[in-house]
């Protein structure tokens, strides 16, 4: 079974995203909160969690290339996936030592029958993964402590991968400085003064920074952007869509569901793709590839922590979320259907969240 079948084998039975989300799944809340435990496994059973995450993105890109080549994929952070990491080499060393017959209790465990020169050098670009991306969204590069190293910027530029910014600043002055700083680098950005990064506020009568009257047909055309993935301030889906439509931002990044449960229709998305002045803009939807949320229509009433088994850990960042075994075939099927539905609804691209969740498994399953 090839990768495309793995993701999309069941997608054909759904006539539309609305039918899928409204009829196939039921949403309930269930938030057990057990303590995380460190799990010890023999090295041969520890997978490369980073590569498993890269594989999801690469498989989605393969599907895009075959079906809708102009559909864009944006990574939300997780820049460590761009290159070979120290953790991966340490895991590779363990695998080699295990294969050579070393025992974990052996103090010479890491010195058994392998040569470090045989390992992929740390920092080597993962070309297939990078070529699966159209852009990377970086948060708080100016107003926080997440400045992107110059070598990473150079690497992305070499592969033609754009940069987008999201800045949560303390003051209006810092926010404006962030906009100016990123604009000088050619990076369009969303900025706000929300320390929580809720993405739930649309400034009334806001005039976008570097307002642009032209049609926006590619990332290179984007001069400004707005992220609004939480619609809690609006009484209805129509009111939310009206508010977003009444703006001139070049790029909108939204949740494809009003209050995480009512899907935007193709007609809604078509409205959002037009600026207030009538020019075309880009609209992206967000999709979390590693966290299942009990507010989402795919959530089934019988689900709870560890049932199904791939619902692994409570998400400390999201009370409605459960970190999934993102490589599990059942979860990947859900992600694949969700992804296809976003494409079918007419969005120009998707922002993939949760790509850094490999760190959860690396932390609780130590390789030493």
Percentage with pLDDT > 90 across the chain: 69
pLDDT-derived band at 11 (thresholds 50, 70, 90) equals very low
Rounded-to-integer distance, Cα 320 and Cα 305, Å: 12
* Percent of the residues in the chain that have a pLDDT greater than 70, as a whole number: 81
CA distance 252 to 225: 6
pLDDT at 364: 80
Beta bridge partners of 136: 75, 163
pLDDT category, 105, cuts 50, 70, 90? low
Question: Which pair of structure tokens corresponds to residue 103?
Answer: 């025992």
316 exposed, middle or buried (CB, 10 Å; 0-12, 13-18, 19+)? exposed
- Give the SS3 label for residue 280: strand
Q: Give per-residue pLDDT as tens, 130-145.
A: 999 999 999 999 999 8
pLDDT band at 188 (very low <50, low <70, confident <90, very high): very high
Please, are residues 136 and 164 in contact by the beta-carbon 8 Å criterion?
Answer: yes
Q: What pLDDT sits at residue 195? A: 83
50 sits in the region (left: phi over 0; alpha: psi -120 to 50; else beta) called: alpha
Residue 314 belongs to what H/E stretch?
Answer: strand 311-314
Mean pLDDT of 296-319: 93
* Segment 320-336 mean pLDDT: 96
Which pLDDT score is estimated for 134?
98
Backbone angles phi, psi at 244, to 5 degrees: -70, -40
Distance, in Å, from the CA atom of 169 to the CA atom of 266, rounded to the nearest integer, reads 34
Residue 9 pLDDT > 60, yes or no? Answer: no
Query: What is the pLDDT at residue 55?
Result: 97
User: Rounded distance, CA 340 to CA 142, Å?
Assistant: 34
Q: Which long-range contacts (CB under 8 A, 24 or more apart) does 42-46 make?
A: 42/98, 42/104, 43/91, 43/94, 43/95, 43/97, 43/98, 43/104, 43/367, 44/95, 44/98, 44/99, 46/91, 46/94, 46/365, 46/367
Whole-angstrom distance, CA of residue 197 vs CA of residue 7 = 31
Mean pLDDT of 251-260: 96
What sign has the CA pseudo-torsion 41, 46, 50, 54? negative
How many helices and strands, by DSSP H and E, does the chain display?
11, 13
**Euclidean distance between CA atoms 322 and 309, whole angstroms:** 11
Full DSSP string of 29-76: -----PPP------GGG---HHHHHHHHHHHHHHHHHHH-TT-EEEEE
Beta bridge partners of 262: 258
Chain centroid to CA 280: 25
Question: Given this model, what pLDDT does residue 103 score?
Answer: 60
* Alpha-carbon gap, residue 170 to 193, rounded angstroms: 5
Give, in order, the Cα–Cα distances in Å from 344 to each of 16, 17, 67, 173, 285.
8, 7, 11, 41, 12
Instruction: Flag whether pLDDT at 13 surpasses 50.
Output: no
Whether the model pTM is above 0.75: yes
Q: Return the pLDDT at 366.
A: 66
Among 40-44, 71-75, 341-345, which stretch is predicted with the lowest mean pLDDT?
A: 40-44
Residue closest to 283 by CA, chosen among 299, 296, 272, 295: 272
Residue 115: pLDDT band (50, 70, 90) is low
Q: How much is the average pLDDT of 265-281?
A: 97
Mean pLDDT taken over the chain: 85
The SS3 assignment for 23 reads helix
CA–CA separation, 150 and 158 (whole Å):
12
- The dihedral through the CA atoms of 266, 268, 269, 273 has a sign that is positive
Choose among 162, 131, 156, 7: nearest CA to 58: 131
Dihedral, CA of residue 88, residue 158, residue 135 and residue 292, to nearest 10: -10
């Amino acid at each position: 079974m090839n990768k495309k079948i793995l993701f999309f084998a069941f997608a054909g039975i759904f006539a539309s995203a609305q039918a899928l989300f409204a009829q196939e799944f039921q949403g309930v809340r269930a938030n057990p909160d057990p303590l995380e435990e460190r799990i010890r496994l023999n090295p041969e059973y520890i997978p490369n969690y980073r590569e498993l995450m890269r594989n999801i993105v690469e498989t989605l890109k393969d599907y895009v290339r075959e079906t809708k080549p102009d559909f864009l994929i944006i990574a939300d952070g997780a820049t460590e996936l761009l290159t070979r990491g120290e953790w991966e080499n340490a895991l590779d060393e363990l695998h080699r030592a295990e294969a050579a017959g070393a025992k974990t209790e052996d103090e010479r465990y890491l010195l058994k029958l392998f040569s470090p020169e045989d390992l992929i050098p740390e920092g080597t670009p993962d070309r297939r993964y990078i070529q699966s991306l159209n852009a990377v969204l970086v948060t708080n590069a100016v107003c926080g402590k997440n400045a992107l190293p110059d070598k990473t910027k150079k690497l992305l530029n070499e592969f033609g991968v754009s940069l987008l910014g999201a800045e949560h600043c303390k003051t209006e002055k810092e926010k404006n400085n962030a906009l100016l700083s990123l604009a000088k680098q050619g990076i369009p950005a969303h900025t706000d003064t929300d320390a929580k990064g809720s993405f739930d506020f649309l400034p009334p009568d806001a005039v976008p920074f570097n307002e642009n009257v032209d049609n926006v047909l590619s990332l290179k055309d984007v001069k400004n952007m707005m992220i609004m993935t939480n619609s809690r301030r609006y009484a209805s889906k129509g009111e939310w869509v009206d508010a977003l439509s009444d703006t001139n931002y070049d790029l909108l990044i939204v949740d494809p569901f009003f209050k995480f449960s009512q899907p935007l229709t193709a007609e809604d998305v078509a409205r959002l793709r037009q600026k207030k002045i009538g020019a075309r803009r880009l609209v992206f939807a967000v999709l979390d590839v590693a966290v299942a949320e009990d507010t989402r229509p795919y959530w089934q009433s019988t689900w709870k922590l560890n049932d199904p088994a791939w619902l692994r850990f409570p998400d400390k960042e999201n009370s409605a979320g459960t970190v999934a075994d993102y490589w599990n075939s059942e979860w990947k099927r859900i992600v694949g259907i969700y992804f296809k539905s976003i494409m079918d609804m007419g969005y120009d691209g998707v922002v993939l969240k949760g790509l850094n969740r490999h760190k959860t498994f690396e932390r609780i399953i130590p390789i030493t």
